[in-house]
Amino acid sequence: MTSDDARWQAAKQLRADHPKYLVIWVSRTQRFHAYLLAASRAEASELTDTEPAGLAAQIQQAEHAAAHRQARPAHARDAVPSASPRSPS
């Protein structure tokens, strides 16, 4: 098995471990890339690393951050402080 074959196998394993991500190995650049499937533009970001362990750590960090954002109540995320109107005296 060549080094490149091993990298393709690692990308396949990362896809199996993180099914919400498209994970590829780009031989020309010698980097792994991960893209969140069905991401909105706000969530869309490319994760990339030269090693599968580094990419796995980035994916886990992104998943943790997403779970944290979802756990916050909607009113806490969307609340905008505003001055309350004063009643005339």
Using one digit for the tens of pLDDT, what is the confidence trace for 33-79? 999 987 666 666 889 999 999 999 999 999 898 888 777 665 555 55
Looking at the whole model, is its pTM more than 0.85?
A: no
pLDDT at 32: 98
State how far the Cα of 33 lies from the Cα of 46, in Å rounded to an integer: 7
The 8 Å CB, 24+ separation contacts for 55-63 are 55/14, 55/23, 56/14, 56/17, 56/18, 58/34, 59/14, 59/18, 59/21, 59/34, 62/36, 63/18, 63/20
